[in-house]
Structure 1
Amino acid sequence: MDFRNQVLSISEAKEMDMVNYLSALGHEPAKIRNNDYWYLSPLREEKTPSFKVNRKLNRWYDHGLGRGGNLIDFGIEYHHCTFGELLNKLSGNLSFQKPHAQMVKSVYEQEPKIKVLSDFELTSYALLGYLEQRHIPIEIAQKYCREIRYELNGKTYYGIGFKNDSGGWEIRNPYFKASSSPKDITTLKNGSDEAVVFEGFTDFLSFQFLQKNLPENSQDFVVLNSVSFFERARLFMEQHQLIRLYLDRDAAGLKYCRRALSMSTKYTDESKLYKKHKDLNDWIVNFDKLQKMRLRQKLR
C-alpha cells in the first residue's frame, strides 16, 4: 500500500507516539521518571521543565499553562494550524506511530549505563588518528579533552572525553558516540561580554583551531552537548552582550536558531559560514578536500 497520499484518521493521529513526535520536532526530555517524560515546554519559554508526557497514556500536560490533552490538541497549538492542516502534516510522518505495548519501554531505560573508570592525557593512536580525520589538531584536543576508559555491558573501552559542568562526559571514538551521566552543558568562562555557542564539542574544537591566533580570553563559550539543552544554557548565554550561534544546519538546529533570533538582537547566526554542510567541523573537513581537488585540477 502506498501511504504517501493517505491522510490519517483521527484515531490514528491520536495513537501517534508523543515522545517520538516531540523528538522529531527537536524536543528531548530533560528528565524521565518511569512513564513520565518531563520537558521544557515547547509551547512557551521556561527554565524549569513543567511539560509532562505520560508515555503509557500517551497524553501531555503543561503545568504552566494548566492544560493538556492528546497529540492532536498539542499539534494544533504548537503549529498554530487547523485540525485538517495538522492531519495533513502528520500523514507524512507515519513513523511516529505508537509502538506496540511490549516496545513502549523508553530507549533511555533500555540503554545500558556507561561507567567512566579513569581519565588521562590523550595518547591512543586510534583516537589521535580519529582527530586527524576530523582535522582537529592534537594539541587543541589535549587542552580541552581527556582520554577516558569506560565500562559498558561488562566490557572496557576507550574514547575521547569532553567533560560537562555536572561532571558527566561526552564520549567519541571512531565507532561510538555517547554520553555518561549526568548529561549537561559545558561552559568556559573568560570574563568576556561575548558568548560563542556550539551543539557539540568537535565544533568547539574546530572553532579553536580556526581562531587559534585570537587572545585566549577574548570569548566565553558554551557547548550544549545536545540542542535540547538550549533553554538550559540561556541563563549563561544571555549574561553576554553578543551571542554567536554555531548550531548544526539540521532541522532542530535551524529551528532553535530562528527561535533565538526572534527573542533577542543579542543573538547572531554564524552557521551561514557552513550553510551547505551539516556543521562547522563537517565544513572544515570538506573545505580541505575541496581545496585539494582544486589544486589537482590546476596541476593537470
Structure 2
Amino acid sequence: MKKLTCTQAKQIDLVDYLHSLGHHPVKVRHNDYWYLSPLRSENTASFKVDRRLNLWYDHGSGQGGDLIDFGTLYFNCPVGSLLARLSAGWPAPSLSFHPPKHPAGEKKAAPGSKITVLSSRPLADKSLLDYLQSRCIPPALAARFCKEVDFHLYGKQQKAIGFSNNSGGYELRSSSFKGSSSPKDVTLINNKAGALTVFEGFFNFLSFFTVNQEQQRPLTNCLILNSLAFLEKSRALMEQYPRIHLMLDRDDSGRSYTQKALKWDREKYIDRSDFYQHKKDLNDWLIRQQRSPGEQRRLRQRF
C-alpha cells in the first residue's frame, strides 16, 4: 500500500471527505458549505467549508485550515497516523481529488468572500430592533454597546448588529446572518470594577446587563471572547483580576474551556454557568425566564 503524501491528502475534496465521515451540510451558499461542527457540539451550523479553496473554518472555536488540519483534530492524532488512515481507505469511491485553484502554497480568498465593513451608525433598523427583542435584549441597552453596520459580502450589501472588538473589527449578527469582520479580537468592557466576568459571545454579555440593568452598584468588568480560541490567549489579561467569573456556554466546547480555566487556578476562576445549567447559555436562559422575575432576582443577588 502506497502512503499518501501531505500534498495529496490536502487535495482530497473536503466536502466529499466530510460526507464519507457522515457529516452533511445544513445549507449551501455559493461555494460555502455550512455544517454543524464535526469537532464539537452545537445547534447552529457555524463550520464552513469553502469548496473552491478546499479550506474549512469553525466560527465557534476560531480554528481552521486544510484537510490535514481537520483530520488531526477530528481523530486527535499526529499527521503520520492520519496519512496512514487515509491511505488505508484509498481509493474510495465517495472521495475525489480537489484540483488546486491557485499556485501551490498560495491561499487566495474567493472574490467577495471577505466581509468589508462600509459604514456604521446608531441602531435604528426595525428588523434589527425586532431581532434584539426576540432575544429579550432591550434595544436601548444594546444601543450602548452596539451599532448598525453596513457590510459587503459576496457582491451584496447587508446590514447587521455590530459589536466592536478591541482591534476595531465587528461581530455581526442579524436574524439571518452570523459572522465577523477582520481583525478578530476580544472585547474588554471596563466598568472600573475589581473583578472580571468572561462571556463567550456578546449576546450573553448583553443578557448579563439586561438582568442587572437596575443595579445601583458597579458591575464587574467584562471580557467578551468573541471566540473560545481567545480564552488561553487572554489568560494574562484575565489573571490581572483577583476573581474571574466564567459564564461560558454549556455545550461541550464551553464546558471543556471552563474546565481548562479551572485547572489553571480554582481559587481565581469561578464557574458561574450553574445559573443556567439546564440551558445552552445565558441568553437562552433569559429568553426562557423572561416571565419569571424570581429567577432574574436570584441571578442579580449572586453578583
Same fold (TM over 0.5): yes
**1:260: how far off?**
0.7
**1:278: how far off?**
1.0
Residue 170 of structure 1 aligns with an amino acid whose one-letter code is E
Task: Give the conservation status (yes or no) of the 8 Å contact 1:203–1:280.
Answer: yes
Task: Give the conservation status (yes or no) of the 8 Å contact 1:222–1:233.
Answer: no
Identical amino acids, percent of aligned pairs: 34
- Please tell me whether residue 101 in structure 1 is matched to residue 98 in structure 2: yes
Task: Give the conservation status (yes or no) of the 8 Å contact 1:147–1:159.
Answer: yes
Aligned position for 1:297: none
Where do 5+ consecutive residues of structure 2 fail to align? 22-36, 42-46, 48-52, 57-62, 86-93, 294-303
Aligned position for 2:252: 251
Aligned position for 1:275: 277
- Please tell me whether residue 228 in structure 1 is matched to residue 243 in structure 2: no
Residue 98 of structure 2 aligns with an amino acid whose one-letter code is A
- Please tell me whether residue 24 in structure 1 is matched to residue 39 in structure 2: yes
Secondary structure at the residue paired with 2:76? Answer: helix
- Please tell me whether residue 137 in structure 1 is matched to residue 115 in structure 2: no
Alignment CA distance shift 1:104-1:192 (3 Å): farther
Aligned position for 2:178: 177
**1:25: how far off?**
5.5
Residue 267 of structure 1 aligns with an amino acid whose one-letter code is Y
Secondary structure at the residue paired with 1:254? Answer: helix
Alignment CA distance shift 1:99-1:259 (3 Å): farther
Task: Give the conservation status (yes or no) of the 8 Å contact 2:250–2:273.
Answer: yes
Secondary structure at the residue paired with 1:206? Answer: helix
Task: Give the conservation status (yes or no) of the 8 Å contact 1:166–1:183.
Answer: yes
Residue 193 of structure 1 aligns with an amino acid whose one-letter code is G
Normalising by structure 2, we get a TM-score of 0.64
**1:151: how far off?**
1.1
Residue 261 of structure 1 aligns with an amino acid whose one-letter code is L
Secondary structure at the residue paired with 1:75? Answer: coil
Secondary structure at the residue paired with 1:239? Answer: coil
Secondary structure at the residue paired with 1:227? Answer: coil
Residue 157 of structure 2 aligns with an amino acid whose one-letter code is T
Structure 2: how far apart are the matches of 1:99 and 1:222?
44
Higher helix share: 1
RMSD: 4.2
Secondary structure at the residue paired with 1:278? Answer: coil
**1:133: how far off?**
0.5
**1:75: how far off?**
3.1
Normalising by structure 1, we get a TM-score of 0.65
Aligned position for 1:205: 206
Aligned position for 2:187: 186
Structure 2: how far apart are the matches of 1:137 and 1:280?
15
Secondary structure at the residue paired with 1:268? Answer: strand
Alignment CA distance shift 1:251-1:59 (3 Å): closer
**1:103: how far off?**
8.7
Where do 5+ consecutive residues of structure 1 fail to align? 1-10, 29-33, 38-51, 61-69, 78-82, 88-96, 292-300
Aligned position for 2:286: 284
Structure 1: how far apart are the matches of 2:139 and 2:65?
45
Comparing 102-111 with 195-204, greater Cα deviation is found at: 102-111
Alignment CA distance shift 1:219-1:151 (3 Å): same
**1:276: how far off?**
1.3
Aligned length: 233
